[in-house]
Amino acid sequence: MSSDPVEELSLEVFAARVLGVSAAPDRIAGVIAQIIGDGIEIKDERVGPSGIGIASAVGEPGEIEALRSSHGDWDVEVTVPVQLRVNVQVAGATARYRIAVRVHTRIRLVPVPPCAVFVEIADIGREHIEAVVDPEGMPSRIVGWVGNINSVVGDKVVAYINDLFDSPEVLAVRRIDVARMIDRAWDAGFVVEPSAVPAREGRTPLT
């Protein structure tokens, strides 16, 4: 009994398609959201003229934005929005305001031996951060310090995220063992589902 010829793919095309599916923006966004977690905390940073003020901040990450990259060397463009609540202590008084921060980076999946992919994340610098201050309720004496405060807080956000991405725990998560995933898929019946195998006379159906 003849069958239609099977369309063959080169190994290069097949690998590229597998990586393309694996690097779907929504999946990458989910991974980054898990890595970032629920919050960012910055403690006791000197700000203002001669470091007269002490700033601290608590940040709440928003929904991760991920889009296919237009740069050939990268798979996905990622933006991490963070709402920071900033406290500045000056001469015994505390001023409070908010900064909306957006952190930009790029991600690609890199094949690594023996049969795995590594989630490579571009280094984040101060130039990859946007910060918009909500000045509502900000004392006038703090307004002139905003640039300095933003710079200090921005540098701390950059350092926090870079250190987090490069931590041993996260580096382990960023390496995806493809061979192990395939083994688990076979063992769980996800590759050939038992119900898809027709029962024949004298043979017990797979369960």
53 lies in some domain? yes
Mean pLDDT of 21-45: 86
> What pTM did the predictor assign?
0.75
Q: How confident is the model at residue 88 (pLDDT cuts 50, 70, 90)?
A: confident
Q: 141: helix, coil or strand?
A: helix
- 164 belongs to a structural domain: yes
Give me the pLDDT at residue 31, please: 85
Residue 199 lies in a domain: no
What average pLDDT does range 122-134 have in this prediction?
A: 88
> Is 1 among the domain residues?
no
- How does residue 27 score in pLDDT terms, banded at 50, 70 and 90? confident
What was the pLDDT predicted at 71?
82
d(CA 120, CA 143): 39
pLDDT of 191: 73
Establish if 29 belongs to a structural domain: yes
pLDDT at 96 over 60: yes
Question: Average pLDDT of 60-83?
Answer: 91
Per-residue pLDDT at 52: 82
Could you tell me the CATH number of the domain that includes residue 143? 3.15.10
Look over the chain and give the mean of its residue pLDDT values, rounded to a whole number. 82
Full DSSP string of 163-206: HHHTSHHHHHHHEEEHHHHHHHHHHTTSSS-GGGS---TT-PPP
- Indicate whether 202 belongs to any domain: no
Q: Is residue 152 part of a domain?
A: yes
Percent of the chain with pLDDT over 70: 84
Range of the domain at 90: 11-194
Task: Indicate whether 102 pLDDT > 60.
Answer: yes
Show Cβ contacts of residue 160 under 8 Å, excluding neighbours closer than 6 positions.
40, 42
pLDDT of 150 over the 90 cut: no
Query: Do 178 and 109 meet the contact criterion of CB atoms below 8 Å apart?
Result: no
The pLDDT of 83-106, averaged and rounded, is: 87
Number of domains in the chain: 1
150 within domain boundaries = yes
